[in-house]
Amino acid sequence: MARYKTKGLDCWNKAKELRDRYYKDYKESHDRGGLRWEGGAWSFDAIPQALEGEVHGLSEEPYGASIGHIPELQVRYQEAAEGKWGCARDLCSYMRAYWGSVALNEYAFGGAWPHADFIFQNQICCCHSKWLQVADEIGGGTTPYFCFDVGAGPYDKIGDRQIDYVVGQLYDGIEFIEKVTNRKVIDEKLIQNVYNTYRSNCYWAKTCELNQAIPAPLDEKTMFSLYVLGTLEKSNQAIADFYEKELYPEVKDRVADKIAAVADEQCRVLGDSQPPWGFLRIYRYLEQYGIVSMANLYTFSLIGWMMVDKKGDIVPCPTLEEQGITIKDRDHALRLLAEGELKGKLMWAPFYGATYKNDLVTKIAKQWRCDAAIIHLNRGCEGTAQHQMQLKIALQGMGIPVMTFEGNMADEREFDEGRVMRLIELFVTETLGLKKVA
Amino acid sequence: MIEEFKQWYDDRHSYAKEWKKNNSKGKVVGYFCTYVPEEILYAADCLPVRILGGHEPPALATPHMFDMWCPFSRDCLSQGLAGKYDYLDGVIIAQSCLHIRQAFGAWQLQVPTPWSYYLCMPNAVTTLHAKKFLAGELAEFKKAVEEWVGKTITDADLDRGIDIMNTNRRLMKLVYQSRKEDNPLITGTEAMTMVWASQIMDKREHNVLVEQLLRDLPNRRLDRDQGVRLMIVGSEHDDRPFMEMVETIGATFVIDDHCTGSRYFWDEIVTLKDRLQAIANRYCDRVPCPTKDFKQGTWERKRFPHIINLAKEYRAHGAVLIQQKFCDPHECDIPSLRRQLEDNGIPCYFLEFEVTVPVGQFRIRIEAFIEQLRADELFD
Amino acid sequence: MAEQGKQEYWRWPEGTWVNPGIDWRKGRIITAGVDVGSVSSQAAVLVDGELYSFSNTRTGSDSPDSARKALSIAMEKTGLTVDHIDYCIGTGYGRVNVPMAQRTLTEIACHARGANFMYGPEVRTVMDMGGQDCKAINCDDKGKVLNFMMNDKCAAGTGRGMEVFADLIRVPVWEIGPRSFQIKKEPPMISSTCVVFAKSEVVGLLEKGVPENAIMAAYCSAMAHRIMELLNRLGVHEKFVITGGIAKNEGVVKRLEKELGIKTAEKVWHKPAYKAYPFDTQITGALGAALFAEAMVGKGKVKSVRKT
Amino acid sequence: MIVAGIDVGGKNAHVVILKDGNIVAQGAAATGIQKAEAAERLYKETLHKAGLKQDNVGRVVATGSAGKRVAFADGVIADAAADARGVNRLFPSARTVIDVGAEEGRAIKVSPEGKVLDFAINEKCAAGTGTFVEAMARALEITVEEMATLSLKSNNSIPMNAQCAVFGESEVVSLIHQNVEKQDIAKAVHDAIAGRIASVARIVGLEKDVVVIGGMARNAGFIHSLKKEIGMDIIVPDDPDFIGALGAAEAAAAGVLERKVEAKS
C-alpha cells in the first residue's frame, strides 16, 4: 500500500505543446516573413522578441539537451563536431551537439539547419561567448554576432555600477539588432516582455518553493520538462501564463491534497548539475526505494529568480505586479531586466566562489528537507559542475550522506551505466540502508 | 642572467621567503591569472607572485577538483594543499576561466591564507562599458588593498607601480625582438624562462637582470644551429623539459603566445591622468585570453591576427599549438586558429599537455613535425 | 603478464624473406632500414634500391638486441654482414637504440616513403596502426609527408588494444579478422574507449553467452570506428593504404572502408616485377628507412660506412 | 551454523566457509569467462576439502562484480559492503579500506560497525588497477612478482603519467629505450598507481587505520609506494584477496539478504 496518492500533471501536455511549437516556429519563421535569431537560455530574449513583426529565437542549451535525449543523433552530431570541425571531445556536450548539427546542416527537429538572421548571445562561464561564435564560423561565418557579458558579480554585490555595465551593453545590443534587421525594437513589446520575463522566472521559483512540502509534489524528472519553457522564451506571454496560471496553481493544489510525485516517498534527495539526459531511468530505479530527487540549485534557478531574505532563507523573488512596479519606459525596462537577472539568478553565484555554492546549496538542503544528496559530477558542463567536490564536503559536514558519480549530461560515451548503477545500488542499500518498497 | 632566471624560477619559494625577510612591511600576494593588475600591488609595496604548478601529478587536488578539470589548475591547488605556498599573505584572482576560478575557490576553503580577493574582471573587453566597469572594480580593489596593508595608495604610488610594470614589459619585449634574427642569440626555453622568472620575482630586481641580459646578448655565442624556426601558442605553459627537448632535436622556438610568455607582457599601459582608468584600459586592450576574445559584429577573434603577425615577423616555419588538457577556452579557439595559420602558410602541430609530459610520445610527434617541415632535404 | 609457456595469442607470427633473384655481391649500394617498434621489429635490406630481404620479429625489452636480431635474421644464410652495408637508418620507437644505424628518422616519414614504394605514387593517405599508437599521414606523390595526426586521447584504437583482446578471448590475433565475419548480423560495437574497460565489457558479453565471433565483430567495428574518427580529423584521400599489423586484420579494415566509404588499396606491389614477392604491411617503415638511406648514399649526401 | 561467502570478481573467485563464526575453509580460483560455473566448481571443491556438503550450509551470500551470477546464492551484497564487513571483522579499528583489484581500485570509509559511510572508485581510466601493473610487467618482460621485488631495490623516482594502460606501456617502452634500469621503471609504475589510488582514497578521506586489500595488496612494491604516498601506516591482512568473500560470509551469518539473485540472463 503506497504512502501517498500520486498522479500526473494536468498541464503536462500544454507544456509539451508549447515546446513543440517553439522549435516549429523557429524553423518556419522565414516562410512567414519572420526573423530568426540564435541565443542562449540566458540571453535576454525580451529584447530581440520586441522587434517589430514576427520573431523567433533558438535557445542553444535546450537545443543541445534535446539532442542529448536522442543517443543516435547525439553521437553522430558530436562526432561531426569532433571530426569535421576538429574540436576537442571534452568540450561542453551541448555545444558539440549544436556544432555538429550545424556542420551536418541538420536540424534535430527535421530539415536542413535553419540559419539565423542574427546572434544575440550572452557570456557567463568562460566559453559561452564561443558557442555561437564557433557555430557561426562552422556555418559559413556570415551571421551578425552580438554577445553581452553578464559576469558582473554575485547576486549580493549587485549595485548600480554592475547594472550600468549590463544595461550599457543592452543598449548597444538594441542598436545592433535594429541595424542588422532593419526593424525597430518596439517599446510596448519590450515592456510587456519584461513583465512576462518576471512572471516566468518568479512563478517557476514559487513552484519550486512548493517542493518543500512533504510529500514533494514534483520530482526532478518532471521539473526538467517544465523549466525548459523558461529556457526557450521566458518573455513569451503564453509561457508566462503557463507558469502563473496553470503550473503554479496546479502544484499548489497537489500540496494541499498531499499528492506526491513519488507515492512511496521515504527519502528526499538533493541533486546537483544537469542529469545525464540519456539515462533518466536512474530516477525510476531510485523510486523503487521510495527515493525522490526533488531539489537542485540548477533545476530551481536555471530560470527561477530567488533571493536570500533577511532571515537568510532562500525565497522566490516577487513579480513586478507584486512589487507594484509599473514600467515607465525603455530605460526602466532594461534596468529591471538586468537587475532581475543579476540579483535573482542564484545559480550564477557559484561562478564567483565555492563559498557561494556551499552556502546556497546547504540552505536548499535544509529548507527543502533533504535526507541525502546524489551529485552528478558532470563532465559535460564546467559551469554547473563548479565546486562540486567542495559541495560534497560541505554537505557531509551537515551530516547528509552524499554520493557522487561521474557522467556527462549529453554525451553517452562518457557515461558508464553499469558502473554508476553499482555505485547507486551500494549507496542506497548500504549507506542509506533502504529496502525496495513493495 | 639566464642562470639567475632559471635558478630563481626553480627556487621560487625561497625567493619569496627571502624577499619577505628583506621587506618586513611588504606582503607577498599569490595571483592566479595574468589579468590581475600587479601595478596596484606594487603601488602597495606588495610582491605579486604567480601561482604555478609543480609539474607533479596533482594527487592532493582530486578530492577538491575531480579529473575533468585542467591539470594546471589542479596542480596549482595541489601545491597549495601541500603547503608549498605557506608564506603567502594573500591570494587574488581576476575573473578568467572556470578551471582556475575553481582552483581559487577550493584554495579559499582549503588552504589557510590570511587574505583573498576575487577581482571581477569583465569579459566584454572590447566595449567601453567594460573599461568603465573595470575602472570601478579597480577602485574597489585599491580600497580593499589599502585597508588590508593599512596604507593609502597615492597617485605617486600608482605611477611607481605602473612604471615598474611598463619597464619590465618594455625590456622583455626588447629581448623577444632580438629573436627575429637568424640563429637567435637566446633560445625559446631561455626567453620563456625569463618571463616565468618575471612572474615570481620582484620586477625591480628582474628589470636589472633583463637590462644586463640586453647588454650581454650581442656578445652571446650559442654554438647551435637554429634548425627549424618554431612558434609555440596556447594556454598556460611553463614546461621546460618539453621546450628543451624540442630545442635539442633540430628546432628553435622564436616566438610564443602564452600567458606565461608574450601575452603576459606584450602591451604597456598608456598613461592617463586617471591612473585607474589607464590601468583598466590596458587590461581590456591587451592581447586577450580566449575567455574574453569575442568582438561585437562578427565571429572573428581579436587574438588571431596578432598571432599570425607574430608568426610572420618572427619568420616561423611552423607552429606548435599546445593546450592544457580540458582547457575549454583554448579548445574552442584551436580548430579555428589552426585553419587561419595554415591558410597563411604556417603548418601546425597540436599537442595536449598535462602536468607531466610523456617525453617519448611527444618527441616522436615533434621530430616527425620537424621532418615534415624540412621534407625537401630528404627528397631532393 | 609474461606467463611463460602459455600460448601467446596476441603475437603476430615472425617471418623473413630473401630475394632469390638478387646476388648482393654484384650490388653497388647496399642499404638497410631497421624499424624497432614497441611490439615487433623489422629490418629491410636494399641492393641498389631493389628489395633484397626483410625480416619481421618481436621486440624484446632491450632494443639494441631487437635491432641486431631483426637485421641478422634478414641477412641469415646470405653471407651478407653489417660490414657490407653502406648506410643504415633506424626508425620506430627504439630508433635511438639501433646500434648499426648512422642516423634515425621517425616512422611517420618512413611509412609514407615505404607505402609510396610498395603501393605506388598515387598513395595520398597512409594509416599506420602501430602497437602503441596509430598515425594518419597525408603525403604527396613522392611519399613526402604533408601533414599527419597521432592518437593521443585513448589507445583503444591501437594494435595493442587488439592484442589485449586476442589474449582475452584466447583466439590468435590473425584469426580474429576472418572469424569476425562469420556472424548472422552485425552486432553493436563495443562502446568503451578504454582498453581495459573494453575488456570488462567483452567479459560481460561472453558471460551473456554472446557467440565469440559476434564479439570479435563488435570489437573490430569499435576499432574501425576509432580509426575513422582520427582519419576524419586529418582528412582521408585515395589512394588510401593501411600499414602495420592491423592492416592484416580485414575484420577492422573492411569495416573501416565501410565507415569511410573509401576502399583501401590492394596489397600488391606497385612494381610489376615484385608480383611474386611476399607483401608484408609490417615492413613498410623499415623499407622506407632503407629507401631514404639508398637515396642519401646514391645522391652522395652521406658517406658510405661500408667496411668490406 | 555454517555459512558461505563467495566473491566473484573480474579475474578470480574466492570462497570462505564459516562455522559458528570461525573460518573452516577457503579457496580461490581463476574464473576465466564462465564465471558462474567456475564459482560453483570452486564452492563445491572448497566444501569438499572441509568435508562438508552443500546442504550443511545454512546460507550463501555472493558479492563481487559478477556476484549476481552466482545462481545458488541466497543473496548478494555489494562488493564495497563485503569489503567493509570483512575488514571490520579482522580490524574493527579500520576506518579506511582500500581495495585494489584487477579492474578497479576503490576506497571505502567504514564506521566502527563496519557500515559503508562513503566510497569512491577510480573513474574512467584503468590506471590504478592490477591490470595496469600486469600490462607494465609484460612490457618489462617480467612477472608481477618479480616487478614487486625489483621495485623495492630502486631509490630513484621517475614521474610517470599513469593515465591509460596502453600509454603507460608506451611510456615504459620508451623508458626501456632510454636504458633506464628495470627496477627504477618498476618503481615508477608502482608510484604512479599508488598516486592514483591515493587520490581516490583522499576523496573519502584518509583516516587511520588504513587497511589495503585485494590482489594488489600482495604486491610489496606497490604497498611500499602507497605508504610513502599517503605518509601513513598500512595494514595488509594475511589473505588480502579473501576479504570480500569473508565479508560476504559475515553477511550470510548476520542473515543479510538484500537482493535476490538474478536468474542468469
Q: Which residue of A has its CA nearest to C229?
A: A83
- Residue B219: pLDDT over 90: yes
Determine the structural domain holding residue D131 and report its residue range: 92-236
Answer yes or no: do D96 and D42 share one domain: no
- Mean pLDDT over residues B6-15, rounded? 96
**pLDDT band at residue C5 under the 50/70/90 scheme:** very low
pLDDT of residue A35: 98
Distance (Å) from the C-alpha of residue D202 to the closest C-alpha of chain B? 6
The Cα-based distances of C280 to A205, B4, C71, C244, C249 in angstroms read 69, 55, 16, 9, 12
The region of weakest confidence among A120-129, B126-135, C57-66, D15-24 is: C57-66
Residues D50 and D126 in one domain: no
pLDDT for the residue numbered D11 = 81
**Using the beta-carbon criterion (under 8 Å), do C145 and B364 form an inter-chain contact?**
no
Ranges A300-309, B302-311, C193-202, D167-176: which has the least confidence: C193-202
Do D205 and D99 sit in the same domain of this protein? yes
Which residues partner with D116 through β-bridges? D110
Omega cis (within 30) before A215: yes
Predicted pLDDT at C62: 78
- CATH code of the domain occupying C129-260: 3.30.420.40
pLDDT tens per residue across span B33-49 = 999 999 999 999 999 99
Nearest CB to D159 within list B67, B356, B361? B356
Helix (H, G, I), strand (E, B) or coil at B178: helix
Verify whether the Cβ–Cβ distance A82 to C197 is below 8 Å: no
User: Which of the residue ranges C204-208, C264-268, D135-139 has the most confident prediction, judged by mean pLDDT?
Assistant: C264-268
Residues of chain C found within 8 Å of residue A89, distances taken between Cβ atoms: 153
Kindly report, residue by residue over C204-250, the tens digit of the pLDDT. 787 777 888 998 998 899 888 888 888 988 999 999 999 887 788 88
For the stretch D156-179, pLDDT in tens is: 888 776 566 666 777 787 787 778
C-alpha cell at D48: 569438499
Evaluate whether ipTM surpasses 0.85.
yes
The C-alpha of B62 sits at a distance from chain D's nearest C-alpha, in angstroms, of 6
Domain boundaries defined on chain C: 15-121+282-298, 129-260
Interface size B-C, in CB pairs within 8 Å, comes to 41
Of A414, A416, A430, the CB nearest to D81: A430
Instruction: Looking at the structure, give the CATH architecture of the domain made up of residues C15-121+282-298.
Output: 2-Layer Sandwich (3.30)
Percentage, residues of chain B above pLDDT 70: 100
User: Which residue from D240, D207, D205 is spatially nearest to D223, judged by alpha carbons?
Assistant: D240
Q: Could you tell me if D42 and D159 lie in one domain? A: no
At residue D261 the predicted structure's pLDDT band, cuts being 50, 70 and 90, is: very low
Q: Is the pLDDT of residue D128 over 80?
A: no
Is the pLDDT assigned to residue C279 strictly greater than 70? yes
Query: Å from B229 to nearest chain D CA?
Result: 27
Q: Is the pLDDT of residue D263 over 70?
A: no
Whether the predicted pLDDT of B51 surpasses 70: yes
Q: Are residues D85 and D160 in the same domain?
A: no
Tell whether B336 is within 8 A of chain D (Cβ).
Answer: no
- D106 plus D50 within the same structural domain: no
Q: Is C210 on the interface with D (CB under 8 A)?
A: no
Residue in B248, B323, B379 to test binding to C, most C beta-carbons within 10 Å: B379
Contact D229 B59 (CB under 8 A): yes
- Residue C193: its pLDDT value, please? 60
- In this model, does residue B83 exceed pLDDT 80? yes
Assign D260 a pLDDT band (cuts: 50, 70, 90): very low
How close, in Å, is residue D78 to chain A by CA atoms?
Answer: 6
For residue C13, is pLDDT > 80?
no
D166 CB within 8 Å of a chain C CB: yes
Weakly modelled stretches of chain A, pLDDT under 50 = none
Res B53 pLDDT > 90 = yes
Residue C1: pLDDT band (50, 70, 90) is very low
Q: Which residues contact C278 (CB under 8 A, 6 or more apart)?
A: C15, C17
Between chains, do D167 and C203 touch, taking CB under 8 Å as contact? no
Strand partners, D105: D100
Model pTM?
A: 0.93
C142–B372 C-beta distance less than 8 A: no
**Cross-chain residue pair A431–D116, CB shorter than 8 Å:** yes
D8/C contact by beta carbon, under 8 A: no
Q: In angstroms, what CA-CA distances link A379 with A93, B158, B375, C56, D236?
A: 8, 43, 41, 44, 35
Share the mean pLDDT of chain B: 96
Does the pLDDT value for residue C141 go beyond 90?
A: yes
List of chain C residues whose C-beta atoms are within 8 Å of the C-beta of residue B325: none
Q: Which residues contact B191 (CB under 8 A, 6 or more apart)?
A: B175, B176, B179, B253, B256, B261
Percent of chain D with pLDDT over 70: 91
Angle CA(C10)–CA(C13)–CA(C18) in degrees, nearest 5? 155
Contact A82 C153 (CB under 8 A): no
pLDDT higher at D188 or D256: D188
Residue D90 pLDDT greater than 60, yes or no? yes
- The C-alpha of A431 sits at a distance from chain D's nearest C-alpha, in angstroms, of 5
CA distance C129 to chain D (A): 14
Say yes or no: D96 and D221 in one domain: yes
Number of domains in chain D: 2
B63-96: b (≥16 Cβ within 10 Å) or e: bbbbbbbbbbbbbbbbbbbbebbebbbbbbbbbb
3-state secondary structure chain D: CEEEEEEECCCEEEEEEEECCEEEEEEEEECCCCHHHHHHHHHHHHHHHCCCCHHHCCEEEEECCCHHHCCCCCEECCHHHHHHHHHHHHCCCCCEEEEECCCCEEEEEECCCCCEEEEEECCCCCCCCHHHHHHHHHHHCCCHHHHHHHHHCCCCCCCCCCCCHHHHHHHHHHHHHCCCCHHHHHHHHHHHHHHHHHHHHHHHCCCCCEEEECHHHHCHHHHHHHHHHHCCCCECCCCHHHHHHHHHHHHHHHCCCCECCCCCC
Tens digits of residue pLDDT in D46-85: 999 989 998 889 999 999 888 888 989 999 999 999 999 9
Q: State whether A86 and C192 contact (CB < 8 Å).
A: no
Subunit partners of chain C (3 or more CB pairs within 8 A): A, B, D
